[in-house]
Amino acid sequence: MPEKAKKTIAVDSPEGFFDRELSWLAFARRVLAQIDDADLPLLERAKFAGIMGMLHDEFFMKRIGGLKRRIKKGSSKLSLDGRTASEQLEACRIEIRDQVEILTATLEENLLPAFAAEGLPIRRHADLEPAQQKALREYFRNSVQPILTPLAVDAEHPFPFISNDSLNLAVQRTDRTGQERFVRIKLPDNRPRWVPLEDGAGFVPLEQVIAANLDLMFASGAPTEVHLFRVTRGAEGDPLTSADFSEDDLQIPGSIVRQVSAELKARRFAGVVRLQVSAEMPKKMVKWVSKQLGIEPEDLYRTETLLGLKDLLELGSIDRPDLKLEPHTPVIHPRLRHLPPGDPAAIFDEITRGDILVHHPYDSFDTSVLRFIESAAVDPSVLAIKLTIYRTNKDSPIVQALARAARLGKQVAVLVEITARFDEAPNIAWGTFLENEGVHVAYGVEKLKTHVKLALVVREEEGQVRRYAHVGTGNYHTGTARIYEDLGILTCHREICEDVAGVFNQLTGATYPAAYEELLVAPVTMRQRFLELIQREAEHARNGRVSGIRAKMNQLQDPPVISELYKASQAGVPISLNVRGLCCLRPGVPGLSENIRVFGVIGRFLEHSRIYRFANGGEAEHFIGSADWMHRNLTNRVETIMQVLDPRIQAHLDGILGVYEKDNYSAWDAQPDGTYERRSPIEGEDRLAAQETFIRMAGEHRRPGDLAEALESEPTEVPVPVDDL
């Protein structure tokens, strides 16, 4: 009997793509696995449990909320894999409920017992000794009760507004007339969620402390029922850009700021997309609360464990070094170690000796990028500073340095992207502060979101003007620079700096250069240039020349890029893609992508850098920058990717890519069906975790390019495909 012919999947067929939402949830599953990793110290596992809570919260706010809006509008647009919005929503609900079930079991059967075994139990108030309950009663009376505001629901009091992300007690009590009343009490955000017992015998959740002492608040005595619930609201609408405003609006100074401020107010009252309730809440109360919130049964989640899991991140402050990973202290980059303190010109002198690649958090951000900006602020030779702010931290030293520069009479221009999701309010505040300090502030570009990570310094040197630039993959945020993995290059290369200056002219003055020489800029040139680079590799492979694509990014979703990668794979190009989060490309599918492998790394730091390498017939070209291969990055945002010209830095990037590819412990390989399998060392093989390797190398003052075994010119092996799809 003749063998059945294998089905060939077209490069643009829905069968060739994963659903974006489900792929993102697959990333959440990889984070979920960290909670149960016995090799991780206990407080690190608790941190990942907190991160899981944050991931699910964000997914409901952004993605579930978005799907619900599409359904409500009657959108007929299909996902990349051919699903309707309703089908996507149902698939997401099934996956989330499965993850919640796993998360609950892991917490109740593993993590919480481990806390108890280490003398740090999270205890039930009902199980405490009378003396402990008495001490907590005094704590409640003195430190909690004065803050609380009970809100009743009756003929004179409507059901109160339940704010997003808040923990609430649903209280059923009997008043003096014998009538049953519902009262809502919101847990205060300015009290610790985990109340420590005075004798060091563990912690009690704040909601239990409040519930056990409510008789102090009600003259009629203790309530008959007290249960915890939590609401998640959608981040209403897609992130605003100036495309959301009319032509007339755009002519009014400050109109975007006012529109974004209005959106922030509206978001507070956005629709509820999830109701979480404690498992013990009676059906009658659940039904009544659901009705008041307009919740569908599918959006109700009964929880057998703690609510508000993101609060587990607070446990990281516990002083138990034995239950944490050894602290990592970023080191000063070897090129910057000798710089004399207090000399603002020193860092510029060093940059003139050659480009400097900084790899955070292994290389110190404070002694490299921050010093670059702070030096520019006080250096008498500096004439101007330009910088983009997408996200930054409270009390940002970079923002303070920019204000100081303006006060010293330097020309300072800052592009503040105020439509950065969930950072709109602080960005508006920073923009206002800088404007008041005399800084030229621009708020985005018409119809586009600004995501570039650029800084430009203009100095006068011996009667000539010279530019210096920082091109990065991460935000100018001193806090996340310690926990996000990112790259940046400090350079005074003339053509690169001219391109950076052109980008700033585009951002602040709507002035477009004739052409960009060394930067790929979205949405002007970036997608087309990447497509050409992929196509060139396919041509090299067809002609027997050295070919290969190695890339590292956060997410991969752009259909034209994915289709070209499939064509390159079919031409014989070996492709290795290190994708941290969602990936809509199906790797290892016979006839479609059998030469493509996809993997991602999960570790103590959030992988955030973007690197793109094309073999180019043996004369490899390297790129770093702000953009992922996502439709939004290539179409709806201003992004920059810099071609790396320095051979030493090219070698370092090869080393970085090589270390990730050789990771046999923290890397997860994508399978053709969308699942991921974690790597583990084979018998006799030493463990190699990429982030551990980079920490060790930084401590030994070695650079990734020094690892000879990581400098293979191209990936030569890809996983053998499993079953045909």
pLDDT at 269 over 60: no
- Give the residue numbers spanning the domain of 662: 521-710
Q: Counting Cβ atoms within 10 Å, is residue 511 exposed (0-12), middle (13-18) or buried (19+)?
A: exposed
Confidence (pLDDT) at 266? 46
Same domain, 668 and 577: yes
Q: How confident is the model at residue 441 (pLDDT cuts 50, 70, 90)?
A: confident
pLDDT band, residue 18 (cuts 50/70/90): very high
Peptide bond before residue 361 is cis, with ω within 30 degrees of 0 = yes
445 inside domain: yes
Residue ending a domain, choose from 48, 81, 115: 115
Stated pTM of the model: 0.91
pLDDT of 241 reads 41
- Has 451 been annotated as catalytic? yes
665 shares a domain with 539: yes
Q: Give the residue with greater pLDDT, 169 vs 450.
A: 169
Specify whether 527 is located in the same domain as 492.
Answer: no
Per-residue pLDDT at 270 exceeds 50: yes
Nearest to 389 by CA among 411, 418, 350: 418
Q: Are residues 551 and 494 in the same domain?
A: no
Residue range 665-689, pLDDT digits in tens: 999 999 999 999 999 999 989 999 9
* 333 domain residue, yes or no: no
Residue 314 resides in a domain: no
pLDDT recorded at residue 424: 61
pLDDT band of residue 444 (cuts 50, 70, 90) is: confident
In the chain, how many domains are there?
A: 4
Q: Which pLDDT belongs to residue 249? A: 41
- Active-site position among 56, 328, 451, 622: 451
Distances (CA, A) of 132 to 215, 405, 704: 18, 55, 54
Are residues 243 and 302 located together in one domain of the fold? Answer: yes
Predicted confidence band of residue 513 (pLDDT cuts 50, 70, 90): low
Q: What does the pLDDT read at residue 4? A: 53
Contacts of 439 (CB under 8 A, 6+ apart): 402, 403, 406, 412, 413, 414
On the question of pLDDT at 605 being above 70, the answer is: yes
341 lies in a domain? no
* End residue of a domain, out of 482, 515, 548: 515
Q: Is 544 left (phi over 0), alpha (psi -120 to 50) or beta?
A: left
Residue 381 has pLDDT above 80, yes or no: yes
**Strand ranges, E, within 269-330:** 272-278, 300-303
pLDDT at 713 over 50: no
Give how far Cα 502 sits from Cα of 11, 83, 516, 635, Å: 36, 42, 8, 19
What is the predicted pLDDT for the residue at 432? Answer: 78
Does residue 586 share a domain with residue 542? Answer: yes
pLDDT grade, residue 170 (50/70/90)?
Answer: very high
Of 115, 130, 162, the residue at which a domain comes to its end is 115
Mean pLDDT of 395-413: 93
Are 152 and 57 in a shared domain? no
Residue 84 pLDDT: 96
pLDDT band at 701 (very low <50, low <70, confident <90, very high): confident
721 domain-assigned: no
The answer to whether the Cα torsion of 305, 307, 309, 311 is positive or negative is negative
Judgement on whether residues 491 and 540 belong to the same structural domain of the protein:
no
Percentage of the chain surpassing pLDDT 90? 75
Contact 367, 336 (CB under 8 A): yes
Query: For the chain, what is the mean pLDDT?
Result: 89
pLDDT at 330 over 70: yes
- Whether 158 and 226 map to the same domain: the answer is yes
In this structure, is residue 223 part of a structural domain?
Answer: yes
CATH number for position 108: 1.20.58.310
CA dist 391 and 389 (Å) reads 6
Q: Which of 439, 403, 432, 390 is nearest to 254 (CA)?
A: 432
351 and 486 in a single domain? The answer is yes
pLDDT band at 616; cut points 50, 70, 90: very high
Is 97 in the same domain as 171?
no
**Residue 353 falls inside a structural domain:** yes
Q: Which of 370-374, 414-418, 504-508 has the highest mean pLDDT?
A: 370-374
Q: What is the CATH number of the domain that holds 695?
A: 3.30.870.10
- pLDDT tens digits, 533-556: 999 999 999 999 999 999 999 999
What pLDDT, on the 0 to 100 scale, is given for residue 714? 42
Does the pLDDT at position 724 exceed 80?
A: no
Q: Which residues pair with 151 in a beta bridge?
A: 184
pLDDT tens digits, 565-594: 999 999 999 999 999 999 999 999 999 999
Q: Give 224's pLDDT tier (boundaries 50, 70, 90).
A: confident
Helix, coil or strand: residue 321: helix
Query: How far is 689 from 674, CA to CA, in rounded Å?
Result: 23
pLDDT number for residue 322 = 96
> Within a domain: residue 227?
yes
Contacts of residue 27, defined as CB under 8 A and 6 or more positions apart, other chains included, come to: 580, 581, 582, 600
Q: Range with the lowest mean pLDDT among 290-304, 508-522, 563-577, 608-622?
A: 508-522
More confident residue, 154 or 285: 285
- 485 with 360: CB under 8 angstroms? yes
The predicted pLDDT at position 198 comes to 87
For residue 219, pLDDT beyond 80: no
Q: Is the same domain home to 503 and 528? A: no
Look at residues 440, 462, 442 and name the one whose alpha carbon lies nearest to residue 384: 440
pLDDT in tens, 130-165: 999 999 999 999 999 999 999 988 756 678 888 888
